[in-house]
C-alpha cells in the first residue's frame, strides 16, 4: 500500500492508503506502486487516478508537484484539483465553451491566449474525470 496525500492551497482532497496512483507529469503518465523509487516531478494538467481494491477514483488537476518518498508515501501539491464526483458538468462545459470562444479571438503570441489555453486544458481534464465517474452522461 502507498500513503497518498493530495492537497491544494485551499483543501486536502485525499489522505489515505491506496494500491496504486497514476499521475500526469511533464514526462508523461506515471504509475506509482509500493516500493517505487523516490522522485520529484512536475505535475501536469490532467487526470490523477488511484486504485483501492477494485475501486478507481479520479481527480482532475492543474499543474503542481509530486513527490514520491522511500517510505511508500506520495505527496501531490496541485494549484487546483477537483474530485470527479464534485465536478459540476454544466459549469465545466460552459467554461470550456468560453475558453474556446476566447481562443478563437486571440493571437498565439498574446499572453491571454496561453492563459485561456491552460484554462481549456483544465476544463477538458475535468470533463474526462467527470465522464469516468458518470459513464452514462455526456
Query: What confidence tens digit (pLDDT) does each residue in 35-86 have?
Result: 999 999 999 999 999 999 999 999 999 999 999 999 999 999 999 999 988 8
Ranges of each domain in the chain = 2-84, 87-133
For residue 137, pLDDT over 50 is answered with no
* Dihedral of alpha carbons 16, 17, 23, 25, sign: positive
- Give percent above pLDDT 90 in the chain: 58
* Dihedral of alpha carbons 125, 127, 128, 133, sign: positive
CATH topology for the 2-84 domain: ATP Synthase; domain 1 (2.60.15)
For residue 138, pLDDT over 60 is answered with no
Amino acid at each position: 500500500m502507498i500513503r497518498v496525500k493530495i492537497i491544494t492551497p485551499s483543501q486536502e482532497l485525499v489522505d489515505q492508503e491506496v494500491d496504486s496512483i497514476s499521475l500526469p507529469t511533464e514526462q508523461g503518465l506515471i504509475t506509482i506502486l509500493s516500493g517505487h523509487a523516490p522522485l520529484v516531478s512536475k505535475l501536469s494538467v490532467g487526470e490523477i487516478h488511484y486504485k483501492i481494491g477494485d475501486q478507481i477514483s479520479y481527480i482532475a488537476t492543474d499543474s503542481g508537484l509530486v513527490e514520491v518518498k522511500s517510505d511508500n508515501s506520495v505527496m501531490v501539491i496541485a494549484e487546483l484539483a477537483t474530485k470527479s464526483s464534485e465536478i459540476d458538468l454544466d459549469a465545466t462545459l460552459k467554461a470550456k465553451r468560453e475558453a474556446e470562444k476566447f481562443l478563437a479571438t486571440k493571437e498565439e503570441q498574446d499572453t491571454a491566449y496561453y492563459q485561456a489555453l491552460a484554462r481549456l486544458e483544465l476544463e477538458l481534464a475535468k470533463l474526462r474525470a467527470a465522464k469516468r465517474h458518470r459513464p452514462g452522461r455526456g
